[in-house]
Amino acid sequence: MNMIEDLLGAQGNTVVQQLGQQFGLSESQASSALGALLPALAAGFQRNASSASGLEALIGALSEGGHQQYLDDVQVLGRPETVDDGNGILGHIFGTKDVSREVARRASVQTGVGTDILKQMLPVAAALMMGALAKRQFGGAPGQAGMAPQLGAPAAGGGLLDALAPMLDSNRDGSMVDDVIGMIGKFMGGR
């Protein structure tokens, strides 16, 4: 099961239900919106983690940020602090608001959900993605600040980049390089 399936099925689908209620969408629309936003977020995480400093910052954020709460208690998704945290995450992985806007615009074209709603949903989706990464890295144990995850050997099967790989290999050719390059090119170059 890849990370998108993990997020869409988290807590018996309550994440999708919560997002649907929060953003005035049906469960189908919320699921579709998340499915469209998460690959772009994963590509941003992957790009950011490909440098030593970006990877170090991501590992630090995962070990100290308390991001698992977003999967453990879906009620926190509606809090302003979640949006603030998500906007901070977006700033790190995309760099500019222009990229976030373009991600929302493209997801809108793909899903039919309004761009304004997707712009509001994007920080929450980023927080959820960090929650899923933290949960995978630390095996569900929150606040493991002393346990810095390793790229190849985290607590719960596969490294940090391995957690992103299945969702980034969209054409299932065994290599995510072509897919990531394509996604990054679309979201960063096609503005």
pLDDT at 46: 84
pLDDT at 110: 93
The secondary element (H helix, E strand) that includes residue 71 is: helix 69-72
Instruction: Report CA 29 to chain centroid distance, whole Å.
Output: 18
Give the percent of the chain with pLDDT over 90. 31
pLDDT at 11: 54
pLDDT in tens, 77-97: 999 999 999 999 999 889 889
pLDDT at 166: 52
32-36, 43-47, 146-150, 158-162: least confidently modelled range = 146-150
pLDDT at 66: 84
Helix 52-64 and helix 160-168, axial crossing angle in degrees, nearest 10? 100
pLDDT in tens, 7-43: 655 555 788 888 999 999 999 999 899 889 988 998 8
pLDDT at 129: 87
pLDDT in tens, 40-64: 998 888 888 777 787 777 777 777 7
Rounded CA gap, 107 and 150, in Å?
Answer: 32
Quick check: 145 pLDDT over 50? no
One-letter amino acid at 150 equals Q
Domain definitions of the chain by residue range:
3-189
Across the range 129-140, mean pLDDT stands at 76
The secondary element (H helix, E strand) that includes residue 17 is: helix 14-23
